[in-house]
Structure 1
Amino acid sequence: MRQLILDLLPQGHPALEDFVVGSNGEALTALAAWLMPGSRETVFLLWGDSGVGKTHLLRGSSPESCSDARQDPDLSSIAGAAPCLAVDNVEALSERGQLALFNQINRRRATGGRLLAAANVAPAQLHLREDLRTRLASGLLYRLLPLPEAEQLTALAEHARRRGLVLPPPALRYLFSRAPRDMQSLTALLTAIEHYALEHKRPITLPLLREVLHTSASSCA
């Protein structure tokens, strides 16, 4: 199934407005305010379990507001001149990357720049150098909470409706029962199936879903 997403999902940045808010309204409102010009807080840290949407929000913020160094454990490609830097998975930073991030935070404090970061746990639980953990904990901290299963199903149906897709309830339940349970993957899967249906000029039905998922499983074998 994840191979299906990789094969069919168009590349590009997710948008903040596509984020399924659920119980995270306060965090999303705070992030939007922090991204506005004039924000004086240097660090904004999102934390939570895998699949709650941290990467979505970092990538959705980075095209216009933040440069993006999320996949560089050493931050060797860091854009020091950018007014805002987005760094995902800070828990995975190497020693060199931790030092680079610590120096970036200090530099941005002095110059008015900002850092948007994401981690899988709260700063106090991160296995990082102490001075970096202290810097990360000094800013705005928001935990992202997962969507309950019923809300995920409702959100998936709403995403389909916005795209003008007709997903019969049996097809929706079938898809949801076999899909990853984080909304980022669910949304990506829906987009991939939409592209598959358009390419083959067929409506989205149970037979089409079975065909697509079977093809995906065969390609991963």
Structure 2
Amino acid sequence: MTPNPQQLPLSVSLRSDARLDRFVEAEPSPLIPMLANAAKGEANEPFIYLHGASGSGKSYLLQAVCNAADVSGLSSIYLPLTERAEYSVEMLDGLEQFDLLCIDGVDQIDGDIFWQEGLFHLYNRVRDAGGVLIVSGDQTPANLSLELADLKSRLAWGLSFKLHPISDDQKVSALQKNAEDRGLQLNDELARYLLSRGSRELSDQLGYLEALDQASLQHQRKLTIPFAKQVLGWQ
């Protein structure tokens, strides 16, 4: 599908470091292979719903799927509903032209019947157009505080996956795997320092690693705690 640029909402920059193969699950599940297939245009299920607490990786995964779709040559869009105040609900019109749509934070439209109705109709149009729609929220569809029962019904279409928080050891492994993919060496001491000193959310931790990677290349420095303090401003 080739979307009309006139219908695109406000541009949202994707995390360049968001990749499906870098995501660490608390427990093995078929989710990552399923998302990878969707990003290649080989989805067996057109509707996927992700739910979990803040920091469980929902936003990271949705951006990773869009990045993977771009590599595959598919059209995709990532729409975080936390930023919906910057564009009107009419921006949903025509989004079914995308091969893959990722709507992040459906719980954010609690109390906003216009956005709830807009998303409800988008579900129907995506179904008719044969696209893929992946939506995230903090609760299961049944437990969301949405006024529009029809939307809660649509959110329950397809498959639903719960994202569980990962342990500190798993966060260390995730950081080291990401560092290795970048050609960096991140020892246990530095990885645990990042966890203890900064935000404990993995998405933020990966942001620290992105900053360290760029600074390491620029200054030709190895990753150490003193260097991390300097780059991240943790004096």
1:136 to 115, 131, 155: 155
- Distance verdict in 2 for CA 1:33–1:55, change over 3 Å: same
Verify the 8 A CA contact 1:27 1:144 in the aligned structure 2. no
Q: Shift of residue 13 of structure 1?
A: 6.4
Normalised by the length of structure 1, the TM-score is: 0.81
- Distance verdict in 2 for CA 1:189–1:67, change over 3 Å: same
Give SS of 2:32's match: helix
Number of residue pairs the alignment of both structures matches: 207
- Distance verdict in 2 for CA 1:42–1:154, change over 3 Å: closer
User: Which residue number in structure 1 is paired with residue 211 of structure 2?
Assistant: 192
Deviates more, 1:135-144 or 1:197-206: 197-206
Question: 1:112 and 2:130 equivalent?
Answer: yes
User: Which residue number in structure 1 is paired with residue 51 of structure 2?
Assistant: 47
Q: In 2, Cα distance between the equivalents of 1:38 and 1:194? A: 33
Spell out structure 1 runs of 4+ moving beyond 4 A: none
Q: In 2, Cα distance between the equivalents of 1:204 and 1:35? A: 33
Q: Shift of residue 83 of structure 1?
A: 3.4
Normalised by the length of structure 2, the TM-score is: 0.76
Q: Shift of residue 34 of structure 1?
A: 4.3
Q: Shift of residue 90 of structure 1?
A: 0.8
Amino acid at match of 1:76: E
Q: Shift of residue 164 of structure 1?
A: 2.5
Superimposed CA distance per residue, residues 99-149 of structure 1 (whole angstroms, 9 cap, x where no aligned partner): 111011122223323311111111111111111001111221111112111
| Runs of 5+ consecutive residues of structure 2 not aligned to the other structure | 1-13
Q: In 2, Cα distance between the equivalents of 1:159 and 1:38? A: 26
2:140 to 122, 131, 147: 122
Q: In 2, Cα distance between the equivalents of 1:170 and 1:113? A: 45
Q: Shift of residue 216 of structure 1?
A: 5.5
Amino acid at match of 2:57: G
1:70 to 76, 80, 103: 80
Verify the 8 A CA contact 1:48 1:54 in the aligned structure 2. yes
1:25-174 → structure 2 map (5 Å cutoff) = 25-37=29-41, 39=43, 41-63=45-67, 64=69, 65=74, 66-71=76-81, 73=84, 74-78=88-92, 79-93=95-109, 94-128=112-146, 129-174=148-193
User: Which residue number in structure 2 is paired with residue 179 of structure 1?
Assistant: 198
Q: Percent identity?
A: 29
Q: Shift of residue 49 of structure 1?
A: 1.0
Q: Shift of residue 177 of structure 1?
A: 1.5
RMSD, aligned CA: 2.5
Q: Higher relative contact order by CA 8 Å / sep ≥ 6: 1 or 2?
A: 1
| Runs of 5+ consecutive residues of structure 1 not aligned to the other structure | 1-9
Q: In 2, Cα distance between the equivalents of 1:49 and 1:196? A: 32
Q: Shift of residue 181 of structure 1?
A: 1.8
Q: In 2, Cα distance between the equivalents of 1:168 and 1:36? A: 34
Q: Shift of residue 11 of structure 1?
A: 5.4
Superimposed CA distance per residue, residues 53-86 of structure 1 (whole angstroms, 9 cap, x where no aligned partner): 1112211222424322224535432323223321
